[in-house]
Structure 1
Amino acid sequence: MRSRSNRYLANLLRFCREKRCKLSGKIIHGFVVRTGFNSDVYLCNRLLDLYCECGDGDYARKVFYEMPVRDVYSWNAFLTFSCKVGNLEEASDVFDGMPERDVVSWNNMISVLVRKGLEEKALVVYERMVSQGFLPSRFTLASVLSACSKVLDGVTGMRCHGVAVKTGLEKNIFVGNALLSMYGKCGLMVDHGVRVFESLSEPNEVSFTAVINGLARESKVFEAVHVFRLMCEKGVKVDSVCLSNILSISAPREECDGSNVLGKQIHSLALRLGFVGDLHLNNSLLEVYAKSRDMNGAEMIFDEMVEVNVVSWNIMIAGFGQEYRSDKSVEYLKRMRDYGFEPNEVTCISVLGACFRSGDVETGRRVFSSIPQPSVSTWNAMLSGYSKYEHYDEAINLFRRMQFQNLRPDRTTLSVILSSCARLRFLEGGKQIHGVAIRTGISKNSHIVSGLIAVYSECEKMEVSECIFDDCINYLDVACWNSMITGFSRNSMDTKALSFFKRMHQTSVLFPNETSYATVLGSCSSLCSLLHGRQFHGQVVKSGYVSDLFVETALTDMYCKCGAIDSAKEVFDTVLFKNTVLWNEMIHGYAHNGRGDEAVGLYREMITSGEKPDRITFVSVLTACSHSGLVDTGLEILGSMQRDHGIEPELDHYICIVDCLGRAGRLEDAEALAEATPYKSSSVLWEIILSSCRVHGNVSLARRVAEKLTSLDPQNPAAYVLLSNTYTSVRQWDESAALQELMNKSRVRKSPGRSWIT
């Protein structure tokens, strides 16, 4: 009789649970207590189910804790409820108090820890579960793999994969998708994830999306696109999230030609599938068009969007900034405010970046001034803009203003200001920033150390730079080593630069990069050390930096300055994409090694290739003409500067041609050209002519030019010395002696010459 009554009451409670009739359930609960049936575990479990289903935590606890006897079901039911409502403390107490556990118990605990963001604790609980002999279910593996994804623990993820294979769950779509997501986020999609995907008999949209995301993370763009096309061919449902993911990799990279074929195809597919109103997808489309530098297309999409958010506005503002159209960026900022959207930190940084990129510093100032309370990142954007575009004084003054805003500068702030101090050789400012870095505890940060080394190096305080470097030796990266090598090089301590590079190369932790090699090759050039230069060339080849343009230019310059002009040409010929600097180095090398015809030939080859010459190009080729006696060629090139290339000749160019005419004995032409230039008050031009007078023994012109020189600069000894040398060359000893006496009376002193032996 009692057993039949219990079954009847249990059925009633089950009905109340299904219908969520908590009030009726409470009436039955009262009857159970009055009749003494509350000692029945089965009935108590049904009451517990009722209150858990209805979300009544107080009554669920009352029933659970007043049960005279609890079985595994009772513990799991209440544990499940505690996990469901997110009461981690209570769930932990219940789990720890369980006399025996089953897979459901472990699953609940692992699941709630993952949901609460305690992934590492979840993995510890999983290890305990496995060590106690429990076999994970598909729910266990899904939760554990989710934890591995979040903490990027690919090793544990692979162990879970092994368990899935052993238990036959690797082809389960639920577990398979979790594996794909884990491998994708851990950067192991190509190595392991693709095989999981291929083993799934019927992959769904989640599977395809996970693979596409993983391949995109590993920059396997073509493979990701192939999987997307396979998805479309198999008729798997494509949603807006999947389209957004494939759009994220369809924007052309910097090395591409800027075309947007794939992006436009995805755009067409989105229109056909009816996703035009999806905000996230539209933002992805905007980003693709903006990165493709198709701002007209981006504007069309933006204008047709039913809904926009701050992200949409930011994409448009940043896109116009990339196109150097600060006016449009500022226009969109104004429109954004007019439509009631509050600009965020990204907006402000994007607008400031657009202004500085376009060279519109004044507009940048106005935008910055209009921001009510700029964040540290916004201040940093403004400071970086000033520093990048060489407004170093303004950067330092702005930093001073920042100090009065009760904002704490971060490492980016201090790095930028240190860079400005270095450029201005503002030692006192650098010392003050050094003090701030020490007080804020970031003085050993590699970015700060690199900036400090640069400041002290530029201010010729290499001993301080070395102290800072040695004090932070365990915290340094390649940039800090490069700063030291550069400092030695700029302070004409090239031998020290070579030894420092050797010390860097011998460390087992850090390896030189392209900047390291370019700098140390510059020191080899200064020392004219062909032996060291060839050794570094060998290291460059082994390190794989031989195709870096800066290194190639440094190698060319080194060989030219060391007189190995043929080796320089071999390096030059291997460069696929030559820039103006490299052409200039090679032409300059030919010029200073007395191979003028080849310099002029290379100059003409440069013009034919379509490369635009600059003022340095003309200095190099005109120098070649001067050293090789190519007078007519030099005059023809000088005349073509303004006519064919729009470059106005400067003093250096006229010096080369005056020297060229003087060496050829055309002294009157040299004098006429010097008089006709805008730089006729420059003493250098007349010194060159006077030196040529000595070579050709033209005393009358020498006297005339010497008078002009002394009128320009009475204390310049060059006029006296060169005229004296001219007298000596034609054996006019008395005139030379008289000139020497005049120098003594006028107290003009000649600087002593110096010899340099390597």
Structure 2
Amino acid sequence: MIPRPMRLDNNFQSQWCHMIRDSISLAHVFQTCARTGQLTRGKQLHAQLICSGYQLCIFVSNHLLNMYAKSGDMVFARNMFDTMPYRNLVSWTALISGLSQNGRFAEALITFSQMRNTGEKPSQFAFSNVIQSSASLGSLEIGMQLHSLSIKTGFNDELFVGSNLANMYSKCGALAYACQIFSEMPYKDQVSWTAMIDGYSKNGNFVEALLAFKKMIHEGVSIDQFVFCSTLGACGALKDSTFGKSLHSWIVKSGFEWETYVGNALTDMYSKAGDMESAFCVLGTDSGLRNVVSYTSLIDGFVETEQIDKALSIFVDLQRQGIEPNEFTFSSLVKACASQAALEQGTQLHAQVIKTHFDKDPFVSSILVDMYGKCGLIDCSVQVFNEIRNPTGIAWNSLLGVFAQHGLGQKTITTFNQMILKGIEPNEITFISLLIGCSHAGFVEQGLDYFYSMEKTYSVEPRQEHYSCIIDLLGRAGRLKEAEDFINSMPFEPNTFGWCSFLAACRTHSDKERGELAAEKLMRLEPENSGIHVLLSNIYATAGQWEDVRSIRKIMRNGKVKKLPGYSWIDIGNKTHVFGVEDWSHPQKREIYEKLENLFTRIQEAGYVPYTGSIPFNMEESMKERMLHHHSERIAVAFALISMPAGKPIIVKKNIRVCVDCHSAMKFISKVEGRKIIVRDNSRFHHFVDGSCSCGDYW
């Protein structure tokens, strides 16, 4: 490929006529074009040289090659290199550096290998760039080969080679090698320290990153903005705002406070630490720090602290400032809508995602799949998934999670099989969803087979969460002896979720002895968890041991353990309506009460019989029936029936598990009203349609 000659202005034409006789001047012009970004002017001169028949010497050719490489025009750089009659070490190094610095890492490694095959010995700069390429590709094997070669050629002690080796090992997760190289370096400047701190942070060794920073201070090494950014990242991950504030002071003293990257890192650190006031103050009134990165950090912080309204307010301000949101902004906001099951806001965000073309982003689309699932709309989740051109593992896991949370065990298994056929490798999250799906559907044997195949077939080591899923799987099926044996064979003690699952199963299947064991273990782990006392109290109530029930309540009073109040909420229009048990505070309480009474009469006529065994109190049956009739989810459904248009599905969210009697009542209400009712409790979804539930009465 030859650059086309272009018309030059008179001054430049005159200068060119003189420079054509002077190789040094030509080289200087190409060097200046590379440094100042004047690629077009450099191409013009190159074209004129070709048209005039000027024979480029190796000295000028190398500067021309370097200009193309540094300007990012690797097509011209490669063509220039391939047509050079003679190449030396400078030529090879310029091309390798250009390929590496322009993200063409594999080509850089191939070119380095070709250089070696010609017998040319690499320079320290060539080494540095190919080591960077292996780090960017995450190729530890190639990086180690380059390390070995650098030792043979004596470049391993050179500053930039050593720094890049330490950085490569850090990025590839081989921190022991990184530390060894770092300690053996004859001298350390900012580049080496930055590589170490950044490597620790990116590999999750955040404490070590802070210790490295402290050592750097102790050795009197000057700190630059990159070191501050990496260290702030470690502080944010540890939620250590105390150390972060000390860093903030150093940053102010060093004069880096108004650097955009540092400002973004400070905002992100405070946001991740939950100190939203400080995060907001960092931005102040300086518009230079208000960019999409800082705004997204604020949004993340408000989302993590469950201040969804403030997160949405920041998003509105971002748009008002004319700043375009990016994929991370949308991901965070959609994630917030998913956690709150805020369908109205979620669909509005989806519309903006499509408008800004971020629906093609694999991470955003995956979170949209999750959002619709958590809002109860499985069909929308499937539709979004089907519109993803090449679903990644994240997207497949999102769909698996949706089916699992809705208790659709067979669809979870089918989706897993499709995922494997597509060549997507499952990970820890995949198997959590798969095991939950099997557990909620009663697929005990399939779940056990998947658990034991994790490490053997898929090289995924089971973690505590997977063991807890098996406890839940066996417990729900009433196989409590097997669950107990499984617990005793585990390589570690079950976590809170595992013991809670076992205790809940003991309550469902009225196993007092094992329930007491589970409650004892849980009280050691979480003494202030009221759910433990409530479940144990329910077990005693079912057994008619009212004295033990009273004893449990006394323990709760003396220990100031408060029972988590059950409540339900429903979104109608742009407003969320929250209801508690026996809650008559709503402005439309009279209409709601009348609807409830009407429903009670109609479902009784349809065959509903109250199950008072879910009330752990020693009182008259009529009082128990009244309490059941006024549970929060029933009040929410009654309100929805008088407020929403006919035919629209009713979606109710609960903070605790739906009780057996309410589950039965919802089936009858869906039948007599001819409405689809979706209830999301703290465990899963129930879809009630025409007198049946999607769970098949197994949950």
TM-score of the alignment, normalized to the shorter chain, above 0.5: yes
Give the letter aligned to residue 359 of structure 2.
S
Query: Paired residue for 1:376?
Result: 292
Q: Aligned letter for 2:177?
A: E
Kept in 2: contact 1:91–1:109 (CA 8 A): no
In structure 2, what is the Cα distance between the partners aligned to 1:350 and 1:431? Answer: 32
2:148 matched residue in structure 1: 195
Deviations 1:462-494 (A, max 9, x none): 333333332x14243233333333334444544
The residue that corresponds to 2:415 in the other structure is 500
Higher relative strand content: 2
Flag the 1:622–1:708 CA change in 2: closer, same or farther, 3 A. closer
The 1:200/1:629 distance shift into structure 2, 3 A limit, reads: farther
Match of 1:142 in 2: 93
SS in 2 for 1:443: helix
User: Which of structures 1 and 2 has the larger relative contact order (alpha carbons within 8 angstroms, sep 6+)?
Assistant: 2
Q: Distance between the aligned counterparts of 2:628 and 2:166, measured in 1? A: 74
The aligned counterpart of 1:615 is 530
Candidates 305, 310, 326, aligned match of 1:410? 326
| Distance of 1:571 and 1:364 partners within structure 2 | 47
Verify the 8 A CA contact 1:114 1:147 in the aligned structure 2. Answer: yes
> 1:118 is matched with which residue?
73
Paired position in structure 2 for 1:562: 477
Whether the 8 Å CA contact 2:200–2:209 is kept in 1: the answer is no
Structure 1 counterpart of 2:396: 481
**Cα distance in 2 between the residues matched to 1:558 and 1:488:** 16
1:463 aligned to 2:379? yes
Deviation at 1:180, TM superposition (A): 4.9
Question: Is the counterpart of residue 88 in structure 1 residue 12 in structure 2?
Answer: no
Whichever residue aligns with residue 127 of structure 1, its letter is D
- Mapped contact 1:326–1:351 kept (Cα < 8 A): no
Contact persistence 2:271–2:279 (CA under 8 A): yes
Q: Which runs of structure 2 are paired with 1:375-394 in the superposition (5 Å)?
A: 375-394=291-310
Query: Which AA in structure 2 matches 1:211?
Result: L
Contact 1:213 1:245 (C-alpha < 8 Å) held by counterparts: yes
- Of 220, 242, 251, the match for 2:192: 242
1:586 maps onto 2:530 in alignment: no
Cα 1:363–1:687 shift into 2, 3 Å: farther
- Look up the equivalent residue of 2:479 and give its one-letter code: A
Question: Which moved further from structure 2: 245-254 or 215-224?
Answer: 245-254
Is the 1:145–1:160 contact (alpha carbons within 8 Å) kept by the matching residues of 2? yes
What TM-score do you get using the length of structure 1 for normalisation? 0.63
Q: Give me the whole-angstrom Cα distance separating, in 2, the residues matched to 1:362 and 1:81.
A: 53
Please state how far the C-alpha of 1:648 moved relative to its aligned partner. 3.0
Deviation at 1:176, TM superposition (A): 5.3
CA contact (8 A) 1:152 1:186 kept: no
Choose from 224, 227, 240 the match for 1:323: 240
**In 1, Cα distance between equivalents of 2:476 and 2:427:** 23
CA contact (8 A) 1:514 1:545 kept: yes
Shift of 1:558: 1.4
How many Å separate the matches in 2 of 1:251 and 1:436?
33
The one-letter code of the counterpart of 1:197 is S
Check 1:59–1:548 CA distance in 2 against 1; reply closer, same or farther (3 A cut). Answer: same
Question: Post-superposition shift, 1:138?
Answer: 1.7
Q: Which amino acid aligns with 2:296?
A: N
1:326–1:354 Cα contact (<8 Å) kept: no
Cα drift, residue 376 of structure 1: 3.3
- After superposition, the Cα gap between the structure-2 partners of 1:291 and 1:469, relative to the gap in structure 1 and judged at 3 Å, is closer
- Bigger Rg, structure 1 or 2: 1
2:336 and 2:128 mapped to 1: Cα distance?
A: 51
Distance in structure 2 (CA, Å) of the matches to 1:650 and 1:166: 72
For the 8 Å contact 1:157–1:182, the answer to whether it is kept is yes
Q: Give 1:687 shift.
A: 4.6
Alignment of 1:217-616 (within 5 A): 217-232=171-186, 237-249=187-199, 254=204, 264-268=214-218, 270-271=219-220, 275=221, 278-280=222-224, 284=227, 322-324=239-241, 328=245, 336=252, 342=258, 344=260, 347=263, 350-351=266-267, 354=270, 357-358=273-274, 370=285, 374-400=290-316, 402-470=318-386, 472-508=387-423, 510-541=424-455, 542-569=457-484, 572=487, 573-576=489-492, 578-605=494-521, 614-616=529-531
Cα distance 1:633–1:136, how it changes in 2: closer, same or farther (>3 A)?
A: farther
- Measured after TM superposition, the shift of residue 534 of structure 1 is 2.5
Unaligned runs of 5+ in 1: 1-55, 66-73, 294-317, 653-684, 694-701, 717-749
Contact kept in structure 1, 2:201 and 2:233, CA below 8 Å? yes
Q: How does 1:25-104 map to 2 (within 5 A)?
A: 61-63=16-18, 74=21, 76=23, 79-86=26-33, 87-94=41-48, 96-97=50-51, 98=53, 100=55, 103-104=58-59
Higher helix proportion, which one? Answer: 1
Task: Give the whole-Å Cα distance in 1 for the aligned partners of 2:136 and 2:616.
Answer: 73
Aligned to 1:215: 169
Alignment partners' CA distance in 2, 1:580 and 1:126: 63
1:56-87 superposed Cα distances (whole Å, 9 cap, x missing partner): 9877633466xxxxxxxx58556434323325
Deviations 1:10-43 (A, max 9, x none): xxxxxxxxxxxxxxxxxxxxxxxxxxxxxxxxxx
Spell out, residue by residue over 1:699-735, the C-alpha distance to the aligned partner (whole angstroms, 9 max, x if none).
Answer: xxx8xx256568879999xxxxxxxxxxxxxxxxxxx
1:182 CA drift (Å): 5.3
Contact 1:546–1:552 (CA under 8 A) maintained in structure 2: no
Separation in structure 1 between the aligned mates of residue 254 and residue 212 of structure 2, nearest angstrom:
34
Q: Report the CA distance between 1:409 and its aligned residue.
A: 3.4
Length-normalised TM-score, structure 2: 0.67
The unaligned stretches of length 5 or more in structure 2 are 1-10, 34-40, 567-609, 632-667, 672-690
Q: Which residue of 2 aligns with 1:205?
A: 158
Name the CA distance, whole Å, in 2 between partners of 1:691 and 1:142: 79
Q: 1:369 and 1:338 mapped to 2: Cα distance? A: 19
CA contact (8 A) 2:65 2:80 kept: yes
Q: Distance in 1 between matches of 2:230 and 2:115?
A: 39
Residue 250 and residue 364 in structure 1: after superposition, are their counterparts in 2 closer, same or farther (change >3 A)? closer
- 2:209, 2:234 within 8 Å by CA — same for their partners in 1? yes
Amino acid of the structure 2 residue aligned with 1:122: A
Question: Percent same amino acid at aligned positions?
Answer: 14
Judge which range, 162-171 or 582-591, deviates more. 162-171
Which amino acid counterpart does residue 532 of structure 2 have in structure 1? T
- Distance in 2 (CA, whole Å) between partners of 1:85 and 1:611 is 68
Which residue pairs with 1:31 in the alignment?
A: none
Q: State the number of aligned residues.
A: 573
Measure, in 2, the Cα distance between the counterparts of 1:202 and 1:446: 42
Partner Cα separation in structure 2 for residue 488 and residue 286 of structure 1: 40
- How big is the shift at 1:193? 1.0
Structure 1 Cα separation of the partners of residues 31 and 341 of structure 2: 63
Structure 2 distance, partners of 1:619, 1:136, is: 80
- Find the residue that maps to 2:425 and give its secondary structure: coil
1:195 maps to a residue whose letter is S
SS of 1:169's equivalent in the other structure is coil
Distance in structure 2 (CA, Å) of the matches to 1:440 and 1:383: 18
Closer, same or farther: CA 181–331 of 1 in aligned 2, 3 Å? closer
- 1:647 alignment counterpart: 561
Task: Indicate if the aligned counterparts of 2:197 and 2:227 stay in contact, CA closer than 8 A.
Answer: yes
Q: For 1:570 and 1:410, locate their aligned partners in 2 and report how far apart those are by CA, in whole Å.
A: 50
Partner of 1:151: 102
